[in-house]
């Protein structure tokens, strides 16, 4: 598996994965806008096929934010998601980001456990965060950019 930058020709497959992964998927134009605005957008490729993606950006100068992450159903539990997050962390560290945050649906226990396994912890709950009224759990990881992070200096 390789992790590489998103290319516009990946959009169709990314949309397929997005739609099978989320009840309220981002529409194509929004993904395109996010990409055009300069957000980090990486895909995981296995045997020439895009099997997962991560979208992230930097906000408030030193805070990394994971906007979206999804892996093709047939490729889950094979380390693809973890590799995408680790690669994004490596990029955040280059920009001396101090912490990373993300929101996840409170009922999405699989994703919450996934992020916990990677070292994130639950910071707070935001009630009614999603359009359908579901709460969000904000998860956070502190980085030690330039220090002794387990992911430092690899990328």
Instruction: List, in order, residues 6 or more apart from 115 with CB less than 8 Å away.
Output: 85, 102, 104, 139
Residues 23-62 that bind ligand COA (CB under 6 A): none
Instruction: Give the nearest distance from C-beta 146 to ligand COA in angstroms.
Output: 26
Name beta bridge partners: 40: 56
Q: State how far the alpha carbon of 41 is from the alpha carbons of 57, 66, 104, 110, in Å.
A: 9, 10, 18, 22
Applying CB under 6 A, does 3 fall inside the site for ligand COA? no
Which is closer to ligand COA, CB of 96 or CB of 124? Answer: 124
Candidate residues 42, 111, 137, 139; the one interacting with ligand COA per rule CB under 6 A:
111
Applying CB under 6 A, does 104 fall inside the site for ligand COA? yes
> What count of residues does the chain have?
155
Q: Look at residues 83, 85, 127, 89 and name the one whose alpha carbon lies nearest to residue 105.
A: 127
Instruction: Give the nearest distance from C-beta 43 to ligand COA in angstroms.
Output: 13
| Interface positions with ligand COA (CB under 6 A) | 21, 68-71, 76-82, 104, 108, 110-111, 113-114, 117
């Amino acid at each position: 598996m390789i992790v590489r930058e998103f290319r516009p020709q990946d959009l169709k497959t990314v949309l397929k994965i997005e739609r099978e992964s989320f009840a309220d998927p981002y529409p194509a134009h929004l993904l395109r806008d996010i990409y055009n605005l300069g957000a980090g957008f990486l895909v995981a490729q296995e045997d020439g096929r895009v099997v997962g993606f991560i979208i992230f950006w930097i906000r408030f100068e030193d805070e990394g934010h994971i906007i979206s992450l999804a892996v093709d159903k047939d490729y889950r539990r094979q380390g693809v998601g973890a590799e995408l997050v680790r690669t994004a962390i490596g990029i955040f560290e280059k920009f001396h980001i101090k912490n990373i945050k993300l929101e996840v649906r409170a009922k999405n226990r699989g994703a919450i456990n996934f992020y916990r396994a990677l070292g994130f912890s639950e910071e707070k709950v935001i009630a009614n965060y999603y359009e359908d009224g579901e709460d969000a759990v904000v998860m956070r990881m502190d980085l030690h950019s330039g220090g002794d992070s387990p992911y430092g200096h690899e990328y």
